[in-house]
Structure 1
Amino acid sequence: MSSPELDETSTDEERYPSPDVLREMLANHGFEPDNLAQMVDMAAVGITALWWRNTKVEDWHAGANIGALSDMDMYRVNTHSTSRVRERLKTWCRQQGVRSMTDVAGADPDSLEVVVYRLYRWFTNPKRVLVTGNTLYDVVAQTLSNARAHPECDVPEDVTPESELADYEKEVAGAASYALLCMDKYDPRSVLYGPAVFSIAWATGWWGKPGYASHVDAVFAALDNPDHRVWRGKPIPAPPSGTDLAIVRRLMLTRPWQIPDAVCEWLIYDVGEHYILD
């Protein structure tokens, strides 16, 4: 895997911050860098954001009926991918007998390198079936087909699903390689702390982060308050007929990718759950 492009004018410490520096950043933002479970959760969010959401995938999620991934699709894939990454990190902890961040620091780096490599292959596999039911290749092919049919798009002939997927794989390889470079320079904590720090700014409001339960509380508090400022004096959007809000709440906390289509659309487009902060 190739290493990411780095700013040659920055110092080595800036390019490869130590786990101790990252730990301090996390603590300064109110997180618990010595809490293994919390760091695994945040690392899973950060890895998904770095290796999926903030890549060429955004092109396949573009508006104007071009991107094959809708907002609802992204909500499901983001949360499901986060869950899969988290489970793989937890499995590594169990297999290595890791019970604390001190254990992570002293863990076998080769075993964690295997995890990073397998996640890289999983994210970039063109045949990977997303939780939405289509493959990664299908998403790219449909996006290009939509773009070429759009009157305002001019897609060069040499842009193909294969070339798009190759560009995406290069991005993920760079992110994975950077994590391994930091681990080689310091210790395995870098693989958790690095993405965890990234998630502070680039994955606000994500399922899986500490505080997400409070976000869900805020959403349902707003749904129970006709005078909440988020409605701007308008009626609260009614959920689809037959919706059990207690079940919706439980799924939001545990398996949001399983929320029924109509309810998911209601949450995203009518309620605007992502924008309800308190």
Structure 2
Amino acid sequence: MGSVSRPRGNTFGESFDVKVLDQLLKQFGLHPDDVVTLLRYAPLGLTHLAWRNSVLEDWHAGPESRISDGDMFRTNAATTEVFHANLWPAFAEDFAAADLLDRQALDEYDVDVLEGAFYAADEEVFDPERVLPNGMTLLELGGEEVPLLQEHGARQFEALLEQADEKGVHVVVSWLALRGAVSCPQWWLSPRWPSVVDAFLNRLDDNEDSFWSLGGYPEALPAEFNDRPGIRRTLLTAPYDLSADAAQFCVGPGGLRFIRLEQPLRVG
């Protein structure tokens, strides 16, 4: 990940206060000892922190946007999968043995476990030759600004490892889970995503849904939506495999990002 200096400052460090984290997790319906759910949200937190909340936003939202909303949707999903695929195997053996039943079990892990997962994800996510779902490489998308994205990701990983070394692996996992639950609770791979997909498809099947009162029901849907079971399966398992038209429809006229689920009840 390179020799990038770690961010300093009281505000960042104080956000890893265990008591505060516990309170906030419960407010968002997450129990601090529910390690499985924490590790469902943690990859989303990593994606938001190290990838999405970066110079990538300038490439996307600037006056000369380099990447569409639909392609951002697909790329964020593909990136989340990388973080998920590297973070979960670090704990897989203990999951299989049912030994990860509370947060204290996470502190049996050395920080090296997180470092290895972060390093592997860093190598894949920020590789300039990585091919994105729209067919472009990261280098083709970012050009000479790719190092800015790489440095941003490295700084986030290093700061998280510093906190894990000082306060424990479970604190960092909790912090990432909270970030995922707060910033992207309805992204792909979150526990809420299947309900989001069902609500989205139910809306498409009801041309009198109140959502259509503003822009009207679409005159034509992308061809993939003719196969409702098929599109549901793709949305649930691999939204990065959607066509460009289907992805753009989802986050554009289809209003996928405007699905609103009821917030979970407070835990404890």
TM range (shorter): 0.7 to 0.9
Pick from 161, 173, 192: which aligns with 2:154? 173
Question: Is the contact between residue 251 and residue 257 of structure 2 (CA under 8 Å) also seen in structure 1?
Answer: yes
TM, length-normalised to structure 1: 0.82
Following the alignment from structure 1 to structure 2, what is the Cα–Cα distance between the partners of residues 121 and 168? 13
SS of the residue corresponding to residue 195 of structure 1 reads: helix
SS of the residue corresponding to residue 232 of structure 1 reads: helix
After superposition, give the CA deviation of every residue in 1:102-127 in whole Å (9 maximum; x if it has no partner): 32121122222221222223332222
Question: Is the contact between residue 6 and residue 15 of structure 1 (CA under 8 Å) also seen in structure 2?
Answer: no
Question: Is the contact between residue 227 and residue 233 of structure 1 (CA under 8 Å) also seen in structure 2?
Answer: no
Q: 1:32 to 1:16 in 2, by over 3 A?
A: closer
- The aligned amino acid for 2:230 is I
1:58 — aligned with what?
57
Pick from 43, 51, 70: which aligns with 1:72? 70
SS of the residue corresponding to residue 168 of structure 2 reads: coil
Q: 1:235 to 1:131 in 2, by over 3 A?
A: closer
1:46 — aligned with what?
45
Give identity over the alignment, percent. 27
Asked which structure has the greater CA Rg, the reply is 1
Following the alignment from structure 2 to structure 1, what is the Cα–Cα distance between the partners of residues 158 and 173? 14
1:150 — aligned with what?
none
Q: Report the RMSD for the aligned CA atoms in angstroms.
A: 2.3
Residue 201 (1) aligns with residue 201 (2): no
How far residue 96 of structure 1 moved from its aligned partner, in angstroms, is: 6.0
How far residue 171 of structure 1 moved from its aligned partner, in angstroms, is: 1.4
After superposition, give the CA deviation of every residue in 1:46-90 in whole Å (9 maximum; x if it has no partner): 1011111110111221354x2322111111111111112112112
Pick from 89, 112, 115: which aligns with 2:114? 112
Q: 1:108 to 1:241 in 2, by over 3 A?
A: closer
Spell out the pairing of 1:27-42 with structure 2 (5 A cutoff). 27-42=26-41
Unaligned runs of 5+ in 2: 262-268
Spell out the pairing of 1:13-28 with structure 2 (5 A cutoff). 14-18=14-18, 20-28=19-27
How far residue 178 of structure 1 moved from its aligned partner, in angstroms, is: 1.4
How far residue 41 of structure 1 moved from its aligned partner, in angstroms, is: 1.5
1:250 — aligned with what?
233
After superposition, give the CA deviation of every residue in 1:143-194 in whole Å (9 maximum; x if it has no partner): xxxxxxxxxxxxxxxxxx0xx2222222112211111011011111133212
Q: 1:245 to 1:228 in 2, by over 3 A?
A: same
How far residue 250 of structure 1 moved from its aligned partner, in angstroms, is: 1.7
After superposition, give the CA deviation of every residue in 1:192-215 in whole Å (9 maximum; x if it has no partner): 212211123322421111212221
Spell out the pairing of 1:81-230 with structure 2 (5 A cutoff). 81-95=79-93, 99-100=100-101, 101-141=103-143, 161=144, 164-230=145-211
Unaligned runs of 5+ in 1: 142-160
Question: Is the contact between residue 71 and residue 134 of structure 2 (CA under 8 Å) also seen in structure 1?
Answer: yes
- The aligned amino acid for 1:39 is L
- The aligned amino acid for 1:210 is P
Question: Is the contact between residue 230 and residue 276 of structure 1 (CA under 8 Å) also seen in structure 2?
Answer: no
Question: Is the contact between residue 7 and residue 159 of structure 2 (CA under 8 Å) also seen in structure 1?
Answer: no
After superposition, give the CA deviation of every residue in 1:26-54 in whole Å (9 maximum; x if it has no partner): 12211233222211120000101111111
SS of the residue corresponding to residue 270 of structure 1 reads: coil
Matched pairs, number: 253
